[in-house]
Amino acid sequence: MSQVHNYYEYDYKTKTIKLKNKRCPRCGSIMGHYKEPTERWYCGSCGYTEFLEKKS
């Protein structure tokens, strides 16, 4: 599942990981990122949810 890396962008100046905007494949809206209880992308417009799998 190396595709997960495409969601992140590492900023070497501030040493933080930024999330890229991800568009909903269903309606095209910008999806929100949530870490609890499970890391996932959620579209507030149509309710589409995409879960991220951890590498561990």
Residue 46 labeled ligand binder? yes
Residue 15 labeled ligand binder? no
Least gap, CB of 47 to Zn ion (angstroms)? 7
All residues at 6 or more sequence positions from 48 whose CB lies less than 8 Å from its CB, including other chains: 24, 25, 26, 27, 31, 42
- For residue 10, list its beta bridge partners: 17
Least gap, CB of 26 to Zn ion (angstroms)? 4
Number of residues near Zn ion (by CB under 5 A): 8
- Judged by CB under 5 A, the chain residues 16 through 55 that form the site for Zn ion are 24, 26-27, 29, 43, 45-46, 48
Q: How far apart are CA 38 and CA 55, in angstroms?
A: 14
